C-alpha cells in the first residue's frame, strides 16, 4: 500500500445489535470504560472532539473504495438526531449521554492485555468478535493523555493506521518515535514540561 492508496480514517456510529459493515480496510473502535468523573470531562471531551472533527466513513466512501477506509466506530445506545450543521460541542454532549459502555466493556474484555480506563483506540483488520482475542491488533491507550495534547495523539493515530502492516514491531516502534516527536512539539507550543511528556509517552510503548 503506497502513499497514493493509503488508508483514510472516517467515523461511524455503531448501535446495539448492529453489525459492522463488511469490506472496510481497517476497523477501529473508540472505547470508554465509564461515564467521565469531574476530573475526566476535559480529557473525554478533547478526545471526542478530535474524533468528530474527522470525516465520516460514509462520506469518504463517496470518493474512495471502502477497502481504503479505516472505519472508526463510536458505540452509542441511540441513533444521532441528525448532525448536519450541528457543532462539535453538541455532538460530544450527545455521545457522552448515549455512549454504549456495555459494548465497550465487551470489546475491551476480548483484548489479550489490559488497558487503562481510557480513552482507548483499538484497530483490527476485521470486525471484533468479543468472544475471541483479536489478532493482529493495535491498541492505543490514552488513559494518561492530557486534554491539550489529545488532538495531536488522534492525528498520530490517523497517520499510523494509514500504513499497511501497522501491527509489525518495526511499524509500532516508528509510531512511538513519531508520537514522541509530535507530542514534544505540541508540548513546547503549550509551555508544558518535557518531563511530563516523557512520562506519558513511555506509557504507550
What does DSSP assign to residue 168?
S
Q: Could you tell me the three cell numbers for 157? A: 493515530
Q: Which of 26, 24, 203 is nearest to 114 (CA)?
A: 203
Overall average pLDDT of the 182-188 stretch: 66
pLDDT classification of 78: cutoffs 50, 70, 90: very high
Overall average pLDDT of the 171-193 stretch: 64
94-99 contacts, C-beta under 8 A, 24 or more apart: 95/48, 95/52, 96/35, 96/36, 96/44, 96/45, 96/48, 99/32, 99/35, 99/74, 99/75
What pLDDT shows up at residue 13? 95
* Helix H or strand E segment including 31: strand 26-31
180 belongs to a structural domain:
no
204 belongs to a structural domain:
no
164 belongs to a structural domain:
no
**Residue of higher predicted confidence among 85 and 8:** 8
Q: Among all chains, which residue has been given the C-alpha cell 476497523?
A: 27
68 belongs to a structural domain:
yes
For residue 110, report the phi and psi dihedrals to the nearest 5 degrees: -80, -15
51 belongs to a structural domain:
yes
Domain coverage including residue 91: 3-145
Contact of 69 with 60, CB cutoff 8 Å? yes
Q: Give the model confidence (pLDDT) of 106-157 as tens digits.
A: 999 888 777 777 798 888 888 988 877 777 788 888 887 778 878 888 888 8
Number of domains in the chain: 1
Distance CA 182, CA 172 (A): 15
What is the dihedral sign for C-alpha 142, 12, 127, 96?
A: positive
202 belongs to a structural domain:
no
161 belongs to a structural domain:
no
20 belongs to a structural domain:
yes
Q: What is the DSSP string of 125-148?
A: SS---TTS--SSEEEEE-TT--GG
What pLDDT shows up at residue 76? 96
Amino acid at each position: 500500500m503506497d502513499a497514493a492508496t493509503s488508508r483514510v480514517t472516517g467515523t461511524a456510529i455503531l448501535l446495539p445489535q448492529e453489525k459492522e459493515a463488511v469490506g472496510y480496510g481497517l476497523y477501529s473502535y473508540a472505547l470508554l470504560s465509564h461515564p467521565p468523573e469531574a476530573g475526566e470531562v476535559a480529557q473525554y471531551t478533547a478526545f471526542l472532539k478530535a474524533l468528530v472533527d474527522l470525516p465520516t466513513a460514509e462520506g469518504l466512501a463517496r470518493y474512495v473504495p471502502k477497502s481504503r477506509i479505516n472505519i472508526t466506530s463510536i458505540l452509542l445506545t441511540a441513533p444521532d438526531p441528525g448532525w448536519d450543521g450541528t457543532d462539535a460541542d453538541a455532538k460530544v454532549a450527545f455521545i457522552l449521554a448515549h455512549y454504549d459502555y456495555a459494548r465497550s466493556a465487551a470489546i475491551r474484555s476480548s483484548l489479550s492485555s489490559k488497558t487503562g480506563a481510557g480513552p482507548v483506540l483499538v484497530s483490527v483488520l476485521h470486525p471484533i468478535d468479543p468472544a475471541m482475542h483479536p489478532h493482529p491488533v493495535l491498541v492505543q491507550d490514552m488513559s494518561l493523555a492530557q486534554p491539550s495534547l489529545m488532538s495531536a495523539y488522534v492525528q498520530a493515530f490517523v497517520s499510523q493506521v494509514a500504513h499497511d502492516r501497522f501491527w509489525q514491531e518495526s511499524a509500532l516502534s516508528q509510531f512511538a518515535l513519531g508520537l514522541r516527536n509530535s507530542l514534544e512539539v505540541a508540548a513546547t507550543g503549550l509551555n508544558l514540561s518535557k518531563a511530563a511528556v516523557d512520562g506519558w509517552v513511555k506509557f504507550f510503548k
